[in-house]
Amino acid sequence: MAWTGYQFFLAGLLVFTGSINTLATKWADRGVAPGRPDGVMRNGTSTLTPHTFQHAFLQALGMFIGEFTCLVVFKLLLWRYVGWNGREDEDQDTIPSVLRGSRTFNPLIFLPPTLCDMIGTTTMYVGLTLTFASSAQMFRGAVILFTGLFSMIFLKRQVRLFQWIGILFVLVGLAIVGAADIVYGGNTSGAPNVFLGDVLIVCAQVVTATQMVLEEKFVVGSNVPPLQAVGWEGLFGILCMGMLLIPLNFIHYHGAPIEDSIDGLYQMYNSPQIAGGFFGTVLSISFFNFAGVSITKEISATTRMVLDSVRIIVIWSFTVLFKWQSFIPLTLAGFFVLVLGMKIYNRIIKIPCLPGYESTESAEIQERRLIEDED
């Protein structure tokens, strides 16, 4: 099935805002500023001493705040085009496409994807503290495989042979990029338990794939407008993460709280770079998740994860250009294989000897109808 102009726009928005999101987060992490003014000792160093911004859980809360803004925008647009008392059945042809869909559903259907998002993000963060960044990059590609498997098992979606080949190319491309970092990067420090970290990262991808499939099930099956879906996940995330931050401020690990959110807020106040990176993440994540859920609704969860992998190219180009990391020629080969896999998966490049291209469009329509009928 050929993509529409709107679907191409969503794909571009996903890659662009996803890249901004990661780069803004990294920019904040690279910031150095003093923290809380009471001079509490953390790991033998006073919080008054300028230190790097290491507050992943606070950044996760910012991510959910960004998602929640989608619900605010949805309600404002709905009021603008429909009014508070507009009937759902008479407005579908006159309102923008981002508002179309069912507005009568149980918001609690988005609680499971929210919990998956929280668990996956937290597990990834813990894994990153134990292993190499290059290993994390390599194993994150596994989410495409798990999403394809879960879509086939739980959504009864037929993944064609050429699509599996495309997914395989994407995984190989990501593996080449990770291997290039290991072989040529020369970074052998900061990885206290590589095996455990790798296992946690793979587990995080299983949870993330579960989140993608749950969103496809509920968004397609219940026909929920994407802005509303992202917004409800953001609201649940704010509530859950907000409650989680309280005990994390009192649970110590190696002489410091797991998350000293007060220290992080003071660092944002003292550093425009940290504040800009944090709020840049909040702004970009709202557009990023809207594009992601829209692609899940318009196309599929697996396509969303394949497209999401493309932002690695943008991020890598930026970090090399601004000397955040070294240029490694082998990385270009990995990116070439990655893009090739995307084109095979989306039928831009067709392998002549493989069957299934002709029947894919009708099969996808039937599969989406099956999801809708099950609700």
Q: How many residues are recorded in the chain?
A: 375
Q: Which of 287, 295, 337 is nearest to 312 (CA)?
A: 337
**Residue-range domain boundaries for the chain:** 5-374
Average pLDDT over residues 48-59: 86
Question: Mapping DSSP to helix (H, G, I), strand (E, B) and coil, where does residue 252 land?
Answer: strand
Are the C-beta atoms of residues 73 and 99 closer than 8 Å to each other? no
Average pLDDT over residues 59-79: 88
| Distance from C-alpha of 267 to C-alpha of 280, rounded to nearest angstrom | 16
User: Which of 105-109, 221-225, 363-367: highest mean pLDDT?
Assistant: 105-109
Beta carbons within 8 Å of 100's beta carbon, 6+ residues apart: 92, 225
Give the distance from CA 130 to its chain's centroid.
Answer: 21
Residue 181 CA neighbour count, 13 Å, CB half: 19
| Distance from C-alpha of 104 to C-alpha of 33, rounded to nearest angstrom | 47
Q: Is the pLDDT of residue 374 over 50?
A: no
DSSP code of residue 4: P
Q: What pLDDT is attached to residue 134?
A: 56
Q: What are phi and psi of 173, to 5 degrees?
A: -60, -45
Single-letter amino acid code for the residue at 335: F
Q: Which element (helix H / strand E) includes 244?
A: helix 226-248
Q: Is the pLDDT of residue 373 over 50?
A: no
Q: Is the pLDDT of residue 137 over 80?
A: no
Average pLDDT over residues 270-295: 88
Average pLDDT over residues 310-315: 76
Beta carbons within 8 Å of 156's beta carbon, 6+ residues apart: 367, 370, 371
Which CA distances in Å does 193 have to 127, 131, 205? 9, 6, 19
Q: Which of 350, 286, 287, 341 is nearest to 312 (CA)?
A: 341
Cα dihedral angle (361, 362, 364, 370), rounded to 10 degrees? 170
Task: Report yes or no on whether pTM surpasses 0.85.
Answer: no
Residue 79 burial (CB < 10 Å; 0-12/13-18/19+)?
A: exposed
Q: What pLDDT is attached to residue 88?
A: 55
| Distance from C-alpha of 51 to C-alpha of 8, rounded to nearest angstrom | 42
Lowest average pLDDT, out of 47-61, 172-186, 260-274, goes to 172-186
Q: What pLDDT is attached to residue 190?
A: 47
Q: What pLDDT is attached to residue 258?
A: 84
Strand-strand pairing, 252-253 and 256-257: antiparallel
